[in-house]
Structure 1
Amino acid sequence: MAEPNKWVPRNPELPGAEDGSVSKESALAACFAMALFYVAVLYAPTYVLRLAPASSLNTFMIRRFISVIFASLASILLCACLLPVRNYQGASLILSICGIRLDHLGRAVAIPLCLTSLFYVGSVVSRLLSFSDAWEQEELHQEAYLVRIFKAASQKLVDDAHFVVLNILAWRNYVVAPITEELVFRACMIPLLLCAGFKAYSIIFLSPIFFSLGMQLGYTVMFGWYASFLFLRTGHLIAPIVAHIFCNMMGLPIVFPNTQKAFVFSSFLIGCGTFFILLFPATSPDLYNSNTKHCRCWHEFCSWGRTL
């Protein structure tokens, strides 16, 4: 009897069952189709629905939000149709395969977030040094100055929260883009590639190719490697999503600032070194799954098809 919430391939011996793997050609074609559709659907309001040009930035972005949400749902449907999963297991199994899970959720948020932040140690140190320079220009022990610093920090926190809630571009950068991109390019594509027999390290370097079809190259490709690694190791979609949101908030890591270059660069190197030391222990599948059965990819998809 199958265990609850377990990924189970179709067994050809069962009535109505199909073969237990997806062909490599089908998986690659599906991934290309999902990537191209994710981009093409952005132009649907203008060229397919023939809507009038958007009268404002908000209207324009909301149309795009609706488009990429539709593309994400279509990708989940395509993934569900191609994966060799028993039909009677229902939608909950498909969501689990896509990494949409509630178990170990706290760890899947906190640990990848802390791990990702190590790349920004240099950025944090640079900002602390800037604050220190401003501090030295004032009388250090005046209570009035400390009160002003506290009020300024509080006001900035309120302003940032207000910006995120009301600014449409903030919703794109911190909500819609991270969720839909990770859902399509990680949660829907990676299970198909695993089921087709591709090894995990092949998928880590392959999936950003699909991501680059709709996005810019360079930094986004490197992030795609990392996001794919997080999804493969943890089995949680939330892990690459929080990493994606955090990187969008922080921007590119600061390596060589205008001042204190050697100190900031050393901090950056220390953060990167710590990141690579903790990369595998912090993403161990055993931390995010109750029973991995010593499977190298935690979900046993590695046993469904041939290895590449």
Structure 2
Amino acid sequence: MIVSALSPFFLAAWEKATGIELETSLLSLMGFRLDGILTAAALPLMLTMVLFLGPLIQLSLDCHWDLFDGMKIIFDPHFWALCMTDMRWLRNQVIAPLTEELVFRACMLPMLIPCMGLQPAIFTCPLFFGIAHFHHIIEQLRFRQGTLISIFLSAAFQFSYTAVFGAYTAFIFIRTGHLIGPVLCHSFCNYVGFPAVCSALDHPRRTTVLLFYFLGVLLFLLLLNPMMEPTLYGKDLPVCHLLSHRSSDSTGLCS
């Protein structure tokens, strides 16, 4: 958390060292702004839930609670009090999403965009994000949580998954100009986890579950551009001003 908290100061130092004149405040560039914040919080999360429609339906079919029980727990202050005292829950749902999105989206993307443009930055930034998860190898080796080959295969899979997810949240950050969307999507994905495709294939209601898996992906692709339309998230996208420091670039992601 301390190192993550220092990352905005590195961004500020980079601004001074490069001589780039920002057309907005540093906080606004990092996605901390009020203009369009409600849609920036709701729409990316809704779009991500559409993508995970299959896993959510699968989870609801396997859950013994009905909708009323679930809503009762959500609005129960005691439930949230227990969550806030659970360090693992805080790490996965609050600390990790906030710190990782702060470093790899809010602070790293503004430094990469003037150097390489929007699209290369979207796919380069997640590589750093994926590598940052390699410390899990040390943890698994220390506690002998598998064979050497299985641990490295797991790390390679996690790197691929986090890189793809990082590209997605980078896209959200650029299209909305807000940090809150990537943070909420990150927290949601940490909760749901990677889709259990293998168990879906063996599910007693396999046809229904697989249908919602397919429907979720299809709706996600259809809704991606309309729901990520920059005009929905305020009058201006601060990060796109950085493109003026490049001689030529595609601005399609900003319009």
Question: Shorter-chain TM-score: which interval?
Answer: 0.7 to 0.9
Query: 1:166: which partner in 2?
Result: 85
Structure 1: unaligned runs, 5 residues or longer: 1-67, 136-145
Distance 1:298 1:184, change over 3 A: closer
Q: Secondary structure of the residue that 2:165 maps to in structure 1?
A: helix
Q: What residue in structure 2 maps to residue 301 of structure 1?
A: 242
Equivalent in 49, 54, 61 of residue 129 of structure 1: 61
Distance of 2:41 and 2:206 partners within structure 1: 32
Q: CA RMSD in A?
A: 2.7
The equivalent residue for 1:13 is: none
- Given that residues 122 and 254 in structure 1 are in contact (C-alpha distance below 8 angstroms), is that contact kept between their aligned partners in structure 2? no
Distance in 2 between residues matched to 1:251 and 1:271, nearest whole Å: 16
- Aligned positions of 1:177-216 closer than 5 A: 177-196=96-115, 198-215=116-133, 216=158
Write 1 or 2 for the structure with the bigger share of helix.
2
Q: CA deviation at 1:248?
A: 1.0
Do 2:53 and 2:216's aligned partners in 1 also have CA atoms closer than 8 Å? yes
Aligned residues: 218
Q: 1:152 to 1:126 in 2, by over 3 A?
A: closer
What letter is aligned with 1:266?
Answer: L
Letter of the 1:286 counterpart: T
Quick one: which amino acid aligns to residue 285 of structure 1? P
> 1: CA distance between counterparts of 2:40 and 2:56?
23
Q: CA deviation at 1:160?
A: 4.5
> Which residue does the alignment assign to 1:79?
11
CA distance in 2, matches of 1:220, 1:77: 25
| Correspondence for 1:20 | none
Alignment of 1:105-144 (within 5 A): 105-130=37-62
Are the aligned partners of 2:114 and 2:243 in contact in 1 as well (CA < 8 Å)? yes
Greater Rg by CA:
1
Q: Is the 8 A contact 2:29 2:239 kept in 1?
A: no
Identity across matched positions, percent: 33
Q: 1:157 to 1:229 in 2, by over 3 A?
A: same
Structure-2-length-normalised TM-score: 0.76
Task: Kindly indicate whether the alpha-carbon contact (under 8 Å) linking 1:120 and 1:254 is maintained by their aligned counterparts in 2.
Answer: no
Change (3 A) 1:152 1:229: closer
Looking at structure 1, the residues matched to 69 and 215 of structure 2 have their Cα atoms a distance apart, in angstroms, of: 33
Question: In structure 2, what residue type is equivalent to 1:99?
Answer: G
SS in 2 for 1:100: coil
Q: Secondary structure at the match of 1:259?
A: coil
Q: Which has the higher contact order (CA 8 A, sep 6+)?
A: 2
| TM-score (norm. length: structure 1) | 0.64
Distance 1:206 1:181 in 2: 15
- 1:284 maps to 229
Write the letter of the residue equivalent to 2:168.
Answer: Y
| Contact preservation (8 Å) 2:52, 2:213 | yes
Residue matched to 2:220: 275
- Written as runs of structure 1 = structure 2, the 5 A alignment for 1:64-75 is 68=1, 70-75=2-7
